[in-house]
Every structure is written in C-alpha cells, then in structure tokens.
A and B are shown apart, each in its own frame.
Chain A
Amino acid sequence: MKQITRNSLIFLLPFALMILVNESYRPFIKEKPWVYLDVTSMNSAIYDLNKCTWACHNSTTHHCIKNHIKIIKPGFPFYNQINEFYFGIINFNSKKINGKKVSDIKYYAAMNLIFLVVLWPLSMYLLLLNYLRLRRKMTKL
C-alpha cells in the first residue's frame, strides 16, 4: 500500500507542478487567448517583444530566437549541438512527404504528445520505479 502511494505520488508530481505553474500564472494573462486545434489556449499569439506567447511556438526561429533569448545564444557552450538536437526533435515530430517537411499541425501535435508527453516520461518513470525496486531488493538480501 505504501509503495502504491509512493509510486502514484511520483507519477502525479510533474502534472501537479505543471498545473500549479499554469494556474498561478493565469491571472496575469490579460491578452485575448489564441485558439489552437479548436482549443482555446491560455496565452495569446501576439508577437510581443517583451514576453513569450504562442508566437514563439509558431515562429521559434524568426521571432523567439531573434527577440527573446538570454542565455543560449551564439558563444554558449555546445550552442550548435543544442540547436541541432532541438531542431532534430522538431523535424522528427514533423510530417514528411518524400523526405520533405510539410506543415500539418495535427500530426505534429500528435507526435509531440506520443513521444514527449507519453513515451519518454513513461520510460523515465519506469526506470525510476525499477531502480527503487532493485534498491529495496538489495536491502532485503
């Protein structure tokens, strides 16, 4: 019973953290929310120079990287490798026809959900649980 509670808490903690951040920031958002995939989001898609909005999601290279970056800019250690890895993930999750990237927001969102919201966190969660199980087994021996 104690283990089930602990495992459930480990599972729920990242979701709780995300909800805490979003809901504590919600009262400070005054702009009109943007509608993405028929869903009304929290933030707007205004091209604001002072803060990030959905415009940074829609136009990362031409808006966010140009106007908002503070730390990870040219000269930062492994800057090129970080960029390659970052856009590698984006390209991997984008739809391709004959090897060429095509715009399909539903496909991109689904791929992001499958890999970055489900599969990768789930594998980390299972690795953590397995480590805790092995540690407990070790102390019992």
Chain B
Amino acid sequence: MDYIEFIGGFIYAYCTDFVINFANILNLSYYEINAIIFCFIWPLLTLVLIVLNMYKYLALKKKSRISNSTYQNE
C-alpha cells in the first residue's frame, strides 16, 4: 500500500512540476497553464472528438445502407 501511495505521489508531483515548469518556460502562471489545459484545450478537444465520432458514425451508416441497397438491386 505504501508503495502504491509513493507511486501515486510521484506521478502527481511530476505532473504538477510539469505545469509549473511549462508555466515558467512560457512566462505564464501556474493558474493560467492549468486554465488553458483544463478549461480550454481538453474540453474543446473532447467536444470536437465526440462530434467527429458522431459524424463519422452516421456517415458510415449512410454509406453502408447505400452500398447494401445497390448490392440488392444488382
């Protein structure tokens, strides 16, 4: 259990250090980098991916229906 806690703590600290370092490299703040990642990029990317998946799924369904009916007509 202690080992799992240590690994979890290490990953958390490394990820937080990444945000701090990235903020210092870009001359922004810790708060701003977090806000950019978790309030802009990730929600937007998730939304775009959901829409793309839905669009592709519907397009695929439509295309397979057309190709099936063409096959039956032949």
Q: Mark B14-50, 1 if CB is under 8 A from A, else 0.
A: 1111101111110111111011001100100110011
Q: What CA separation (Å) do A138 and B71 show in the bound complex?
A: 17
Chain A contact residues (Cβ within 8 angstroms of B): what range?
A: 35 or more
Q: A86 and B39: CB pair below 8 A?
A: yes
Residues of A within 8 A of B29 (CB): 52, 56, 64-65, 68-70
Q: B21 and A43: CB pair below 8 A?
A: yes
Q: A109 and B12: CB pair below 8 A?
A: yes
Q: B32 and A70: CB pair below 8 A?
A: yes
Chain B contact residues (Cβ within 8 angstroms of A): what range?
A: 35 or more
Q: Mark A29-68, 1 if CB is under 8 A from B, else 0.
A: 0000000111101110000000111101100100011001
Given contacts A52-B20, A124-B45, is CB(A82)–CB(B39) below 8 Å? Answer: yes
Q: B18 and A56: CB pair below 8 A?
A: no
Q: What CA separation (Å) do A134 and B65 show in the bound complex?
A: 15
Residues of B within 8 A of A (CB): 5-6, 8-18, 20-25, 27-32, 34-35, 38-39, 42, 45-46, 49-50, 52-53, 56-57, 59-60, 63-64, 67
